[in-house]
A and B are shown apart, each in its own frame.
Chain A
Amino acid sequence: MAPDLERYAALLDEARTIKGVSLGQDAWRRLKRNRVAMAALGFLAVLGTLAVLTPLLPLQPPRYVDTARQFAPPEFSQPGESGITLHSGPEARRASLEEGFGRLDPISRALLAVRVAVFRDWSIPSICGTDQLGRDVLSRLFWGARISLAVGLVATLVSLVIGVTYGAIAGYLGGRTDNLMMRIVDVLYSIPFIFVVIFLVTILSAETTRQTLHFELPAGLVKDFQEESVSGQLRAAFAEHRHALGADTALATETPGERWRVSQKEGRDYVVELDGGRLRVVTESTGRLLEASRIVVFFFVIGAIYWLTMARVVRGQVISLRNEQFIEAAQIIGASRRRIIFLHLVPNLLSVVIVYLTLTIPRVMLFEAFLSFLGLGVEAPDVSWGLLANEGIKAITPVRIFWWLVVFPGLALGLTLWALNFLGDGLRDALDPRMKNR
């Protein structure tokens, strides 16, 4: 008896030391062995980091126009033009920074401030040449990377969310609902998306008609020009005319003096001033149907095109998963359908989804380049890789070739998409459950 017990005890001890290998760890190990995929991953990680940290890098300002240096070929010796005036007051410095870099969000502004503090006004020379307006190509590549990668990522994520949800629901419910949902996908597949995109971009960029508001203060109300009293009168006048401006109109003092800003909830701004006895509207902000730049439009519109493939793939996967035992077990326990779909199915779809993610991002970025070719891409002075590639192509003529305008954006696009594709391939191989433990 005793030797059996010992044997069992030894077996038990041994069993405890064996650690199960999860699919994720297994996959990661396999991926590490794929050298090309790891190189791609490394490249993309570096690119992503640099893109985020671009304001920190000592690059020339991407919007700084200096036509004396137009079409300059790449060169290494002369330090770059930074266009940053350090010596005049902070006002001038802020203006020069804004001219060169545009209005930035707070984080980027902070990074930019650090860069100015560390590097002063030195910047990397134009090793990628300059374009028609003398702007440095290298810096435009980096700033363009931010937008191109952002569009790629966010649009793909949008398509992912829509596609996974749709496909998971269709696949799980099965039967006629599934049939109907897939037929809808078929129908949508047949619609030439180029029309959809053009229409959506055009509609969403359309200007709504502008209104001009004039209303009069009752005579005698304006007695003198002390700020306080005038603003009091202004408030009184607004109280009376609130209905003309619409609900949720707020009044705030913008600058000391005679101007006040009136903000409305939808984001329409009016700057008004007193002119004799009249309240005159000096300006009105642009009323677009969507108060957003084209970039945001892209995020949703492009994402809305690519979800179809994702939905199909996810549905296929769900159908094969549906019959697995662990789903059956969950159903027996009495888990709700929603819980099963989102808590059990979706995590198991991760591998498929990740692979398609890395393969959709390149398609999205190429589509953005296509839109730039048509003139529907991001609007100047924003810059994206598609826009740069497009400008470069227009510069290819039989008489003279400004090769750096094509080669560098082409390289940037090509390398990134190449890396994404290789990574996607590697992930697909790594996550293939048939290869487990191989």
Chain B
Amino acid sequence: MTAFVLKRLGWMAITLWVVFTVSFFLMWAVPGGPLDQERALDPQIEENMRQRYHLDDPLWQQYLRELSSALRGDLGVSFRLADFSVGEIIAQGFPISASLGIVALGFALVLGMTAGIVSAVRRGSAADVGLMAAATVGIALPNFVIAGILIILLVFLWPLFPAAGWGTPGHLVLPAFCLGAPYAAYIARLTRTGMLDVLSQDYIRTAYAKGLPGRTVILRHALKGAMLPVVSFLGPAIAGILTGSLVVEEIFAIPGLGVHFVQAALQNDYTLAMGLVLLYTTLLYTMNLLVDVSYAYLDPRVKLE
């Protein structure tokens, strides 16, 4: 197990380096450097700024310089939010995005799995069809459409939730729902498929034959096996939640990292963009690693290589 984890961490380091390099060169290929503002800078001033940010050095030199400071943990100062370092921005925004993401994921898991289990157990019934149809709605509409409709219904028609902002539990509900809905849908479908697979297995039939009540059979015995496809979906789900959060965070004015992601790229805020890319990659890789490890826990037949 330890060897496995270590090997994966090694690959993570390599992945991070590749991501760093690719992003670095991509960002520099885009026209419009960080110093481009509405008023053209006096040539002398512009030259001074270029000196300060080392923008005139040959590309490989800038690359090495950034690489070495990144390795030391210094991700630089944001170009766009000039008062803050990249580390500070991430430190402020990450807990918020993370908690929003966790709640969204939790909601997706609970709702999705419940729907999937009910669907599988009552296969072919009206409940099955209805739930799967509802699940597909989550996949079929862009999340900003879902958000808009929910705002009309639950903020203005029946004022149950605040319109935007962050601070109370009420602020969390709508954004988490919008963010989690597509993933609830996927999870419902995956659970249903996995459940159907498991329910046709022999050991389930044995459990029923032993006389165990249905609920015990499903929750204690069948669920673990049915969770496998869900667990393997968790990795990409978390990735998707991190990016899907951009739209939701903008609509609901939530001060998380999702908005920083795209704004940094669009505004050529190189340092912040780079920092977020590395963060995102680390997260994704760690999540995938955890998923693989928990796979081993859940299915004793799986051996980690």
Contact = CB atoms under 8 A, between A and B. Distances in A.
Whether chain A touches chain B in the assembled complex (some CB pair under 8 Å): yes
Given A199-B265, A369-B142, A186 B137 contact: no
A389 B26 contact: no
A85 B31 CA distance: 45
B231 interface: no
B281 A190 contact: yes
Interface in A408-438: 410, 413-418, 421-422, 425
A396 B146 CA distance: 12
Contacts of A389: 142, 144-145
Contacts of A202: 30-31
Interface in B30-50: 30-31
Given A198-B262, A199-B27, A199-B29, A191 B281 contact: yes
Contacts of A398: 155-156, 163
Nearest to B145: A410
Interface stretch (B11-19, B78-86, B90-98, B211-219): B11-19
B49 to A, nearest CB: 22
A192 B129 contact: no
Interface string B139-171: 111101101110110011000000100000000
Contacts of A206: 30-31
Contacts of A196: 26
Nearest to B135: A421
Given A187-B15, A373-B247, A195 B141 contact: no
A190 B144 contact: no
Interface residues of B, number: 46
A58 B280 CA distance: 49
A413 B142 contact: yes
Contacts, number: 112
Nearest to A403: B152
Given A187-B14, A190-B19, A398-B156, A199 B30 contact: yes
Contacts of B163: 398
A186 B15 contact: yes
B262 A194 contact: yes
Q: Which of A191, A192, A203 has the most CB of B within 10 A?
A: A192
Given A190-B15, A194-B265, A396 B152 contact: yes
A366 B142 contact: yes
Contacts of A413: 140-142, 145
B62 interface: no
B31 A374 contact: no
A9 B262 CA distance: 76
Contact of A374 (B23, B156, B262): B262
B266 interface: yes
Given A191-B19, A389-B142, A410-B141, 10 more contacts: A187-B19, A190-B285, A191-B277, A195-B273, A362-B139, A370-B247, A392-B145, A393-B145, A393-B148, A398-B155
15 contacts: A183-B11, A187-B15, A195-B277, A196-B26, A199-B27, A203-B30, A369-B142, A373-B144, A393-B145, A396-B151, A398-B156, A398-B163, A406-B149, A417-B140, A418-B136
